Amino acid sequence: MRQTRKKAMISIMILLFGSILLLVLGAAVFREKRYAWISLGIAVLSCAVMLHSFDRRHTHIRRLVFVAVMTALSVAGRFLFAMIPAFKPVTAVIVMTGMYFGTEAGFLCGAFTAVLSNFYFGQGPWTPFQMVSFGVIGLLAGVCHKPLKASRIALVCYGIFAGAFYSLIMDVWTVLWSQAAFEPDLYAAAILAATPFTLLYAISNVIFLLLMRKTLGARLQRVITKYGV
Amino acid sequence: MQENKRLLMRLHPITTFCYMMAVLGIAMFCVNPVMQGCSLICACIFLRMLSERIVWRRVPAFVLFFAVIAAINPLFYHNGATVLFYLNGNRITLEAVRYGICTACMFGGVFLWCRSLSQIFSSDRILCLLGAVSPKASLVCSMTLRFLPMYARQMEKTKEQQRLLGLYRENTLIDRIRGSMKVFAAVTTWALEHSMHTADSMQARGYGVCRRTQYRRWRFGRMDAALCSWLLLLFIAIVIEINRGSVSMRFYPVTDAIPLGAESLLVYLCYAAVCFTLPAALCVLRFRRMMRERE
Query: Does B202 lie at the interface with A, CB-CB under 8 angstroms?
Result: yes
Query: What does the pLDDT read at residue A1?
Result: 47
> CA B50, CA B2: separation in Å to the nearest integer?
7
Under 8 Å CB pairs connecting chains A and B tally to: 157
Q: Tell if the CB–CB gap between B143 and A68 is shorter than 8 Å.
A: yes
DSSP B156-224: HHHHHHHHHHT----SSHHHHHHHHHHHHHHHHHHHHHHHHHHHHHHHHTTTTSS-----------HHH
- Closest-CA residue of chain A to B190: A219
The answer to whether the beta carbons of residues A209 and A100 sit under 8 Å apart is no
Distance of residue B238 Cα from the nearest chain A Cα, in angstroms: 12
Question: Residue A173: which of A137, A139, A132 has the closest Cα?
Answer: A132
The answer to whether the beta carbons of residues B242 and A32 sit under 8 Å apart is yes
Give residues 129 to 158 of B whose Cβ lies within 8 Å of A.
133-137, 139-141, 143-145, 147-148, 151-152, 155
**Amino acid in position B14:** I
Q: Which domains does chain A have, with CATH numbers?
A: 60-227 (1.10.1760.20)
Mean pLDDT of B245-257: 77
Of A31, A185, A211, the CB nearest to B77: A185
Provide the phi-psi class of A60: left if phi over 0, else alpha when psi is between -120 and 50, else beta.
Answer: beta
> CA B259, CA B261: separation in Å to the nearest integer?
6
> CA B115, CA B47: separation in Å to the nearest integer?
7
Cα→Cα distances B83→B50, B87, B91, B94, B267, Å = 44, 11, 6, 6, 32
Of A51, A75, A76, the CB nearest to B137: A51
User: What is the share, in percent, of chain A residues with pLDDT greater than 70?
Assistant: 91
Q: What secondary structure letter does DSSP report for B78?
A: -
Please list every residue in chain A whose beta carbon sits closer than 8 Å to the beta carbon of residue B203. Answer: 61
> CA B22, CA B24: separation in Å to the nearest integer?
6
The answer to whether the beta carbons of residues A163 and A201 sit under 8 Å apart is yes
Helix (H, G, I), strand (E, B) or coil at B83: strand
For B277, counting Cβ atoms within 10 Å of its Cβ (0-12 exposed, 13-18 middle, 19+ buried), the class is buried
The tens digit of pLDDT for each residue in A12-25 reads 777 777 777 777 77
Q: What are phi and psi of B211, to 5 degrees?
A: -65, 145
The tens digit of pLDDT for each residue in A41-70 reads 888 888 888 888 888 777 888 888 999 999
The answer on pLDDT for B70 being more than 50 is yes
Query: What does the pLDDT read at residue A3?
Result: 60
Q: Tell if the CB–CB gap between A186 and B192 is shorter than 8 Å.
A: no
Of B73, B141, B183, the CB nearest to A116: B141
Q: Tell if the CB–CB gap between A68 and B147 is shorter than 8 Å.
A: yes
Three-state SS string over B28-70 comes to HHCCCHHHHHHHHHHHHHHHHHHCCCCCHHHHHHHHHHHHHHH
Of B31, B152, B248, the CB nearest to A76: B152
Report ipTM (2 d.p.): 0.84
Question: Residue A204: which of A91, A76, A68 has the closest Cα?
Answer: A91
The answer to whether the beta carbons of residues B183 and B162 sit under 8 Å apart is yes
**Lowest-confidence range among B42-46, B214-218, B271-275?**
B214-218
Distance of residue B289 Cα from the nearest chain A Cα, in angstroms: 31
Q: Tell if the CB–CB gap between B136 and A76 is shorter than 8 Å.
A: no
Cα–Cα–Cα angle for B157, B160, B166, nearest 5°? 145
Q: Tell if the CB–CB gap between B181 and A125 is shorter than 8 Å.
A: no
Query: Does B187 lie at the interface with A, CB-CB under 8 angstroms?
Result: yes
The answer on pLDDT for B211 being more than 60 is yes
The answer on pLDDT for B100 being more than 70 is yes
Please state, as a whole number, how many other Cβ atoms lie within 10 Å of the Cβ of residue B53. 7
Terminal-residue alpha carbon distance, chain A: 17
> CA A207, CA A89: separation in Å to the nearest integer?
9
Give the DSSP H/E element, type plus range, for residue A188: helix A184-227
Query: Does B24 lie at the interface with A, CB-CB under 8 angstroms?
Result: yes
Q: What secondary structure letter does DSSP report for B56?
A: G
The answer to whether the beta carbons of residues A24 and A34 sit under 8 Å apart is no
> CA B192, CA A140: separation in Å to the nearest integer?
23
Please list every residue in chain A whose beta carbon sits closer than 8 Å to the beta carbon of residue B207. Answer: 61
Which candidate in B95, B158, B184 is best for mutational testing of the A interface (most A CBs within 10 A)?
A: B184
Question: B91 - beta bridge partners?
Answer: B86
> CA A18, CA A87: separation in Å to the nearest integer?
36
The answer to whether the beta carbons of residues A216 and B107 sit under 8 Å apart is no
The tens digit of pLDDT for each residue in B138-163 reads 889 999 999 999 998 998 899 899 88
The tens digit of pLDDT for each residue in A123-141 reads 877 888 899 999 999 999 9
Question: Residue A65: which of B155, B204, B187, B193 has the closest Cα?
Answer: B193
Of A61, A69, A76, the CB nearest to B155: A76
> CA A2, CA A11: separation in Å to the nearest integer?
14
Q: Which residues in B211-247 are b (16+ Cβ under 10 Å) and which e?
A: eeeeeeebeeeebbeebbebbeebbeebbebbeeebb
Helix (H, G, I), strand (E, B) or coil at B55: coil
> CA A77, CA B133: separation in Å to the nearest integer?
28
Please list every residue in chain B whose beta carbon sits closer than 8 Å to the beta carbon of residue A77. Answer: 184
Distance of residue B288 Cα from the nearest chain A Cα, in angstroms: 32
Q: Tell if the CB–CB gap between A61 and B141 is shorter than 8 Å.
A: no
Q: Tell if the CB–CB gap between B144 and A119 is shorter than 8 Å.
A: no
The tens digit of pLDDT for each residue in B10-22 reads 889 999 999 998 9
Q: How many CA atoms are closer than 13 Å to the CA of B169, on its beta-carbon side?
A: 7
Q: Tell if the CB–CB gap between A62 and B199 is shorter than 8 Å.
A: yes
The tens digit of pLDDT for each residue in A142-167 reads 998 899 888 899 999 999 999 999 98
How many H-runs (helices) and E-runs (strands) does chain B carry? 11, 2
Q: What secondary structure letter does DSSP report for A214?
A: H
R_g of chain B, CA atoms, integer Å: 26
The tens digit of pLDDT for each residue in B158-207 reads 989 988 888 777 778 788 777 888 888 889 889 999 998 999 999 898 88
Query: Does B206 lie at the interface with A, CB-CB under 8 angstroms?
Result: no
The answer to whether the beta carbons of residues B129 and B17 sit under 8 Å apart is yes
Domain range list for chain B: 2-126+219-294, 144-204
Helix (H, G, I), strand (E, B) or coil at B261: coil
Cα–Cα–Cα angle for A62, A67, A71, nearest 5°? 145
